[in-house]
Structure 1
Amino acid sequence: MRIWALPPLVLLVLTGCVTQPVPPDRPVAPFKPFVLDPRALARRLASIQPGWPRSRKFDCARVKCVALTFDDGPGRYTGKLLDLLRKRDVRATFFVVGQMVAEDRGGRITRRIADEGHELGNHSWSHPSLPGLSHEQLEHQLRRTESIVLRLTGIRMRMMRPPYGATDEKVAAEARREGLAQIMWNVDTLDWRDRVASVVAKRAGRATPGSIVLLHDIHASTVDAVPEILDTLGKKGFTFVTVSELYGRRPEPGRMYTER
């Protein structure tokens, strides 16, 4: 396992995840709270908290594991992606943007992600570069997304991915206060740039045991690449796991992880 410590006042900008940020003044459809029946909520919490997502207890020190991660959703193609993953009994990790969750028709897709055994992570509210924000703005970006996901699903997220992979000591400190590990990647498919399914699949196929693969479920070409990704890595003997399953435990808040 590789754990990166953040040097003071150093901005780390990794390639990839460079989807355009959501403008701060972007109009957001009025959010209609979804209210669960109290008994249904109690069952959800009992089954999910505090050990959500429930690990299938793979030993990724011995098994060839790979974690597929999807950023910037939920979007119009996320439902199709979930259909593909369910058909193949594959679990993934979704780093969601709060504004996209708010536009998710009462949280239908967001709840489905959790209900089908996938992992949810915090990808900020509107996808800005976090190091450039004030403390209050940074706190707002993480807490507002945390709040809406908790309200819709009953789940408190345990990890985050800074937009653009941009982080520094300030971001790490805030993530630690919020109880969120910083999850990066070591395989960048560049699917935001090259919208060709075969190209995306080829890059994802370069994963090695312990890899975290960066993908974006807001692109149709990425979703179209998923069957080939699963076939390619499956033939190589890989087991598809969530980020938490990859490490076999909850990653430490504030720390940055790129691969096992």
Structure 2
Amino acid sequence: MQNEKVLVNEKAAQPAPSTSGKVVYLTFDDGPSELTNQFLDVLKEKGVKSTFFMQGRNLEREKLHSVVKRASLEGHYIGGHSMTHVYKTLYEEGQFVNEMKQTLSLIRDITGKSPHLVRPPYGSAPGLANKKIRDQLAEAKIKVWDWTIDSNDWNLSGRPQEILTTIKNTTKRKTEVVLLHEKPQTLKVLPDIIDFYKKQGYTFGVYDDVKHFPLNFTKDERL
């Protein structure tokens, strides 16, 4: 969240029920970054695939293209997280769809893959309350994912164990989508997060465009 106030953190979207046991999707916002390689190292060591939501202004940094390609080649899904991450620009000035299209285009240019999933900065509520924006998304066949668990990791610098405690206290569904960020404190506690879910009997899911299920606070089934 780029150390900005979270506008939606008290509610959880409701995913489709799992048909094959408990599944957790670890999702990482705001990359790519200088930490992405280290996140990938941990995920590789633990045998876990995840979903990254990357920002266009970071994707434009050529020196980070190699890590984006690495993430894609290692089986992680890379979705869009806007170009600017600026609430006013995205929602009040109506640039959400345009920015997401630009971001997805950058991902395609770097990885050769064509993702359709995005995560709205600050969550789809209240940002996507405007049906006009949702209509544009549906027409563009862009899907939206929020989360079921907000780890609040962006706001817990130097307090990695609090991230783990938050996750433990809010894990209660058969299908969980955990909001995380590419932050030092998150990287430090990531092995413990993975171990926790393994002990709880969860398998680790990675987003698949073909197997999409709605997960947005606006409860728009088209997205």
TM-score, normalised on structure 1? Answer: 0.70
What is the identity, as a one-letter code, of the residue corresponding to 1:133? E
- Find the partner of 2:181 among 209, 216, 228: 216
- Deviating 4+ runs (over 3 angstroms): 251-258
Question: 1:194 and 1:71 mapped to 2: Cα distance?
Answer: 15
State whether structure 2 residue 201 is matched by structure 1 residue 237.
yes
Instruction: State the distance in 2 between where 1:257 and 1:76 align.
Output: 35
**Which residue in the other structure is 1:3 paired with?**
none
Q: How many residues align?
A: 199
Residue deviations 1:77-131 (CA, integer Å, cap 9, x gap): 1110000001111011101101111115161111111111011111111112222
1:99 paired to 2:57:
yes
Provide the C-alpha distance between the structure 2 equivalents of 1:176 and 1:200, rounded to a whole number of angstroms: 34
The answer as to 2:166 corresponding to 1:178 is no
Match of 1:14 among 8, 32, 39: 8
Which segment drifts farther, 70-79 or 202-211?
202-211
- Are the aligned partners of 1:172 and 1:254 in contact in 2 as well (CA < 8 Å)? no
Does the 8 Å CA contact 1:179/1:253 hold for their aligned counterparts? no
Farther off after superposition, 75-84 or 138-147: 138-147
Contact in 2 for aligned 1:159/1:179 (Cα 8 Å): no
Q: Give the drift of 1:257.
A: 6.8
Q: Which residue of 2 aligns with 1:250?
A: 212
Task: Give the Cα–Cα distance (whole angstroms) in 2 for the partners of residues 132 and 197 of structure 1.
Answer: 34
Residues 1:257 and 1:158: Cα distance change in structure 2 (over 3 Å): farther
**Structure 1 equivalent of residue 26 of structure 2:** 68
- Aligned pair in 2 of structure 1 residues 236, 123: CA closer, same or farther (>3 Å)? same
Which has more helix, going by share of residues?
Answer: 2
In structure 1, C-alpha distance between the alignment counterparts of 2:184 and 2:64, rounded to whole Å:
22
Question: TM-score normalized by structure 2?
Answer: 0.81
Residue ranges of structure 2 left out of the alignment (5+ in a row): 1-6, 11-16
SS of the equivalent of 2:141 reads: coil
Q: Which moved more, 1:182-191 or 1:97-106?
A: 97-106
What letter matches 1:167 in structure 2? Answer: L
* Separation in 1, partners of 2:128, 2:167: 24
* Inter-CA distance 254–231: structure 2 relative to 1 (3 Å threshold): closer
Aligned residues of 2:32 and 2:58 also touching (Cα < 8 A): yes
Aligned counterpart in structure 1 of residue 165 of structure 2, from 173, 197, 202: 202
5+ residue gaps in structure 1? Answer: 1-12, 17-58
Which residue number corresponds to residue 133 of structure 1? 93
Change (3 A) 1:254 1:239: closer
